[in-house]
Structures are given as C-alpha cells and as structure tokens.
Structure 1
Amino acid sequence: MADREDALRHHVLNLLTARQAHATFDDAIGGLAPELRGVRPEGLPYSVWEQVEHMRIAQRDILEFCRAPEYAEREWPNDYWPDASAPDDDTVWTSSVEGFRTDLESICDMVRDDSIDLYEPVPHGDEQTYLREALLVADHNAYHIGQIITIRRQLDAWGDHADG
C-alpha cells in the first residue's frame, strides 16, 4: 500500500510543479517585460499582475485553511483580487511572485509529509480532504497560468515558449 501512496504523492507533486500538459508558473511569467505586468489587453478583464496576485492570494488561502484551526473564510471576490491592475513597483511584483513560490512549496511539503493522510478531512473543514485541497491548488493554478499565457499572447509577449 505504501507504494501506491508514494505514487499518489509523486503524481500530485508533479501536477503542482512540473511541466507536463501545460506550462509552469515560472514559464508563464518568465521574461515578461515589467511595463507589461499591469496591462489589460483589449477584450480581456485582467492583467498578468492581477492573475499572479490572485493566484498568490487564493493559494495562501488554501494553505491557511489546511494549517490553521482558526481559519476564517475570506469574502469572495473582494478578498481574492488586487485592487489595482498593476503592481506599485518591482518590489511588490517580486514579493508576490516569491510569496506564490514559497506557499506552493509549503503545499508540496504538505503532500510530501507522510504523517498527513491525504484522504483524511482537514479537521476544521467540511469534509474537504488534504488531497482535495492539493488538487484544488493544482487545478486553480493551471487555469490561471493559461490565462496569463492568453494575456501575454494578446500583448504579443509570449514568444517562442516550449508549449507554444
């Protein structure tokens, strides 16, 4: 049974971090000119900055839900999206990107931790399991990575990336 459990954890970790069926977070934001971070292309309601910051906030929220018995739900949608279409400066951008990466690594640490039964419900939740939360992060991130790529394509800022 341990082999199946290890395989599941491995697959979930790959889903969270590896380039498989889609680009990674770092692929999606890599090489983007700073002046394009806050541009909303015609016909699209979000900028790359808004997507990145939303991903960071949502992922942090899921991580807090998994970790903190005193977790309090945020208000949708106001608490999940930035107020501005562009970061104030490079420091804010970098902080958001690094926060996203750090929290993603924490989610991965949770998946790696064999003292956590991924099938067990989060104790203070409503039957949500740790596995469900990790898969939710993977799914949500993949969705918004695709949106970042769409925005970049509309801005003619995607270039010759591996997944085209």
Structure 2
Amino acid sequence: MNHKSIFLNQIAACRNEDGWFASFDRAVKGLTSEQASWKQTDMMNSIWEIINHLRFWNLRYLHYFTGVPTNKMEGNNDSTFRNQDRLDWPATVASLHEMMSAWYKAIEESDDVKLASVINEQSDEPWADAIADLNIHNAYHIGQIVYIRKLQGSWDPEQGVH
C-alpha cells in the first residue's frame, strides 16, 4: 500500500466510512444547532467551534496543495474556532464534508512526486507528512465531537463507539 492509498483510506474513514472510530458523518448525524453550540464549561469548545476549526485548517492546506493563493493567517489558532464565514449549522457541516471530498479528489489526482514535495518555500515538510497530520487532526477532533455528544446526552449508543 502506498502513501496515496493510505491517505485516501484515512480521508474516507474521517469523512463517511465508519470503522475503528465514528466518521464525521456519523458524529454529527441528527445534531441540532443548539446541541452543536453547547458547552459544558467556558473552557471547552463547542462542536460547532470544533468544526469551524477543522474547516479552517482543511481549507487552508487544501488551498496550499492545489495552488490556490492563500492569505497570511490573521490571529492565532484560537481564532480558528470562530465562525468566520457566519455559516448556519447545516452549511457548516456541508462545508466540512465538501472539503473532505475535495481533499479526497485532490489526493486521488496527485502523484508520488507531489506527495514527496515540500508544502511551500517556507517549509521543508513534505506533503505526505502534512496530509498524515491533517488526517490525524481530523480524527482527533471527530472523537471530541462524539465525546461532547456523550456528555450532553445527545449520542445514540446504537451509533457505536461505546
């Protein structure tokens, strides 16, 4: 199995193919905007904020990967949790799903040379490492979404991940 097929499997697992953990689709299935906005404490991020954060980093790196000009980041990582596009809840979910689909397609159309190349002239990190980290980052936050749903009582145990 090569890098490309591993990354495609990881993206599919994060996006909509349940396996060792709940996919994004399963994690947000049936979730209302009120539930997505819920916080147990002010020290936690809401599910909606987590998805905003995932949208920010997935889109930024997708733009780098596909050659779309990207502005210098304003703020810090904490600012990535805000709903900068002012999307409603269904649009926020659809947006991340579309980004994961776009990542799948971009990797599917890439070659080993692209995956071995560095992200940009400011970085010596190869794309293969960055994509692996992005997929792990997505899986980590999807796990947080399931955990938050369990805390608030909105997780259906029939969905798995006991």
Gaps of 5+ in 1: none
**Contact 1:54 / 1:81 at 8 angstroms: preserved in 2?**
yes
1:9 counterpart (4, 21, 38):
4
Amino acid at match of 1:80: T
Do residues 140 (structure 1) and 137 (structure 2) align?
A: yes
Do residues 28 (structure 1) and 23 (structure 2) align?
A: no
Cα distance between partner residues in 2 of 1:34 and 1:28: 14
Moved more, 9-18 or 146-155: 9-18
Is the alpha carbon distance of 1:12 and 1:78 closer, same or farther for their aligned partners in structure 2, counting shifts above 3 Å? Answer: same
Q: What SS does the corresponding residue of 2:160 show, helix, strand or coil?
A: coil
Query: For this pair of structures, how many residues does the alignment match?
Result: 155
Cα distance between partner residues in 2 of 1:72 and 1:124: 15
Cα distance between partner residues in 1 of 2:110 and 2:54: 26
Cα shift readout 1:94-126 (whole Å, capped 9, x = no counterpart): 221111111111211222124462112234441
Amino acid at match of 2:125: Q
1:121 counterpart (113, 118, 122):
118
TM-score, length basis structure 2: 0.81
Cα distance between partner residues in 1 of 2:79 and 2:42: 24
Match of 1:162 in 2: 160
More helix as a share of residues = 2
Q: Percent of pairs identical after alignment?
A: 20
Match of 2:91 in 1: 95
TM-score, length basis structure 1: 0.81
Please, what is the CA RMSD of the aligned residues? 2.5
- How far the C-alpha of 1:70 sits from its partner, in A, is 3.8
Cα distance between partner residues in 2 of 1:65 and 1:45: 30
Cα distance between partner residues in 1 of 2:122 and 2:132: 16
Cα distance between partner residues in 1 of 2:65 and 2:41: 38
Q: What SS does the corresponding residue of 1:37 show, helix, strand or coil?
A: helix
Is the alpha carbon distance of 1:95 and 1:125 closer, same or farther for their aligned partners in structure 2, counting shifts above 3 Å? Answer: farther
1:104 counterpart (97, 100, 109):
100
**Contact 2:63 / 2:69 at 8 angstroms: preserved in 1?**
no
